Amino acid sequence: MKSDTRDHIQEKRYDQLKQTLDEWMKCCILIVITGSVGVGKSSFINNMLGLPDEDCRNAETGIGDTTQKPKLYSDPCNGKMLFLDVPGFGSLTNECDEKYLKEIHAAEADFFLIFYGTTISKKEIWLIEKLQEMKKKFALVRTRADDFKNMKKKSVEEWINEAKTKCHNDLQKNNIANVKVFIISNIDPDIGEFHNLFTFMGESMSDVQRSAILHYTKVFTDEIIEGKKKQLLSRTWLIAGAMTLNSSFPLPLLKMIVHDPLLKKEVQLYRETFGLEDDVLEHIPKESIEKLDISMSPHVKGIASAFRLIGMVSTATALILGPPSVVFLDGLIEPVVTVTQYVVYVKDLRGIVKQLAAVAKRARNRHLNHLINE
């Protein structure tokens, strides 16, 4: 009876841990992308979702207003991160009225990104005022931060500061304050303020939404990779606890934890978070990924051997002294085994996360070098 009660408690704790771990997978995020015509809205969406321009699932890119009506794009993994690509101002017949706000799902949206060109238009001013009235989270975004390369004797920081100052001056002329402005590049996310924009978006959302958007985004800068790593590392303590609870130890303690499906699922989640699918890994030097086969690390191998030894001892004790002695023996051994197992899981999971983060940075650097040499 006591054993059944303990198993029930363990099962309940396991379910609670799994629910906490998977909560972010169930939340939807709706981000509305709107603003001027031909300023990089669709390219931004494609970058966030990791879709090349030629992919049939992507947002159409090109010169002029390629978006004629609001269109929804979702994360290819599970469709929980949604981007509503709204036509450029002037394409919808009801811009600058309340019906327009309904057409762009203003009430339901979690975040707004208003893309603009060199100046802020009256229609963008109207939308900003409406969003502030509704207390919606939003930011102004200007792309083509890489244009600074065409400016003689100007650094990227100088070019960005000038562009942001001009934008804030335009806003002040219309008595608008407290608006976040970010200058980014759709070609190279390291140029400009993409990381700052991404951080602001996360800070404007709930903890669960922040976890989701950090997992789903397919734009990789060093800072974002570090953010992904930090998030996954904070998760290892919980997943290790869930994996430990999931490993029951009936006599003779022969449960092989190294084949735990939860472990394999977790590692796959890490790979998805860092964008390390098979087609990406094919282009990474072999020495960088040879340690990725972690289905049975040295630490796990060692603890598994210990479990097998304990199992043999328990079986032998049962044969010699009878079942009651084994119950007593397990009462002494099991707490030690459980704690040891938990520590091993945490150590291995954290090592896996750090290793994959390093590979992700190598993959990103290779991609940037490819773009530079094209």
Q: What is the pLDDT of residues 184-214, one digit of tens each?
A: 999 888 888 999 999 999 999 999 999 999 9
Q: What is the pLDDT of residue 221?
A: 92
Q: What is the pLDDT of residue 265?
A: 82
Q: What is the pLDDT of residue 354?
A: 92
Question: Could you give phi then psi for residue 64, rounded to 5 degrees?
Answer: 90, -165
| Average pLDDT of the chain to the nearest whole number | 75
Residue 7 has pLDDT above 60, yes or no: no
Q: What is the distance between the alpha carbons of residues 372 and 275, in angstroms, rounded to a whole number?
A: 21
What mean pLDDT do residues 231-258 have?
Answer: 65
Tens of pLDDT along 152-193? 667 888 888 998 999 999 999 999 999 999 999 998 888 889
Q: What is the pLDDT of residue 280?
A: 56
The DSSP-derived string for 164-206 is HHHHHHHHHHTT--S--EEEB-SS-TTTBTHHHHHHHHHHTS-
Q: What is the pLDDT of residue 81?
A: 93
Q: What is the pLDDT of residue 205?
A: 94
Residue 81 DSSP symbol: E
Structure token digits, residue 264: 């394999």
Residue 91 has pLDDT above 80, yes or no: no
Reported as a pLDDT band with limits 50, 70 and 90, residue 332 is very low
Q: What is the pLDDT of residue 287?
A: 47
Identify which has the larger pLDDT, 306 or 212: 212
CB 357 within 8 A of CB 229: yes
Whole-angstrom CA distances from 166 to 151, 169, 223, 272 are: 16, 5, 27, 39
The enclosing H or E element of 107 equals none
Residue 65 has pLDDT above 50, yes or no: no
Q: Indicate the pTM of the whole model.
A: 0.76
- The listed range with the strongest mean pLDDT (115-124, 214-223, 315-324, 343-352) is 214-223
Residue 68 has pLDDT above 80, yes or no: no
Nearest to 181 by CA among 223, 226, 138: 138
